[in-house]
Each structure stands twice: as structure tokens, then as C-alpha cells.
Structure 1
């Protein structure tokens, strides 16, 4: 029962955090929405929003190509995607502009390449030497 699972998951998070509302609820496997139970999952997420338990619903993606299929069927308030000096695929694909026009909030992740950009270049592992000019 997907609806009960979503409700129990959200209730559990709210109880553990001792808050009344989540700012955002993201699916970290958005391909679940394209499965046979995808519509039910999406409706369950929206129900959490309608009940005021969640302010925004969205997905976490790895590639903008995931948005091609998902955004034809579903609308989101929030998208989390990798965005940094080496990975600007969200911008290059045109999705960054599209999402902005749709009013979708975008959360960039790995902006510092999981700390790589903040490391002292002299102590950075040798493996990354070939990217030194970019870093």
C-alpha cells in the first residue's frame, strides 16, 4: 500500500525531527514514478502537500535526461541535481531554463565536488592531477 507507506514515512520523519512540516520531500529514485505504481506514488506525495505536512515535492536526479520522461507526466516544486564546474549538464541541456520558467526550485548538489574544490591543491590526491587546470 503505497499511500500508507508514504504517510507512515512522512509521519515518522516529522516525529523524529519534532516538526510539523517538511520543507521538501524528494524521491531519490524518480524512475519509481515511471513504474506501474508511479501515479499512485505521485498522488500520495501530493496528498502530503495538500495535508500541509510537506511544503514542496520533487525529485533528485543524476542526469537531465531523467527529466525528459518525468516532466511530461508529472510536475514538481523542486528538483535536486548535480551542478558544478565539471557537470553543467542541467544548464547545457536547456532544462535549467525550462525549470526556471516553470517556477521549479532547483537545488544544486556536489557544487564543491564533494569537497574536492575546497581541498588544498598540494594535498589533493594525485588521481585528480589531470583536472588541475579546471579545479
Structure 2
């Protein structure tokens, strides 16, 4: 009785009636997928959130297993405290790459000009002049 009742309820599930049109199987090559990149956000803040995780303006670097233990900390990512994040949080991925390169180039120029740091006073002067590094 139970099986008969189940079959009556589920009869439409396995009822493969003939239709006028044949079934169609569509195979799509995902190498040429123009839609998927449009579904992802390409801003700095969105990528940090998607790839690492951003919750309450905090990034937990412990989730990244390849970092050394002393660098696996929780970092506050705030536009109030981080000038680079403030100026790049809504920039797209290509612009961020150029901005990072510009910042590294600036740092290398500053490091070259301050290679003769010999005393604690020289270090303090460097830190006062370039607090962003």
C-alpha cells in the first residue's frame, strides 16, 4: 500500500513522456566565459574581502598558511589609519598594481638617498621624514 501511494505521488517524477521536440544538450567551453568576470568585483576592498576575508574592518592573516608565524596576525584595514587603503579601496585591480609599483619605486628612491644611516638619530630622522614606510 505504501509503495503504491508513493508511486502515485511521485509518478510525475519518472514519467518520461514523449514530446514534440527533442531534448537539447548544450555544452559550453568555459575557457571563453565572458560572464564570470563580470560577476566578481574588481576593487581592492572587494578582493581583500573575497580572497582573504574582511570582517569588521579586520583581516585575519592566520588563514593564510604560507606566512611565517610572526606575521600571522589580525590586521585592522581602515581608511582612517591606512593612507594607501584610503586612496585605493575603490580602485580596480589594474590601477592598484600601478599604485603599488609607484609606492615601491618611491620607497626605493628614499632608501637609496638614506643608505648612510649610521646612528640612532639618523634612523629617527628617517622615520620622522617618512612615516608611511
> One fold, TM greater than 0.5?
no
User: Which of structures 1 and 2 has the larger relative contact order (alpha carbons within 8 angstroms, sep 6+)?
Assistant: 1
Give the TM-score taking structure 2 as reference length: 0.23
TM-score scaled by length of structure 1? 0.23
User: Larger % of strand: which?
Assistant: 1
Max radius of gyration: which structure? 2
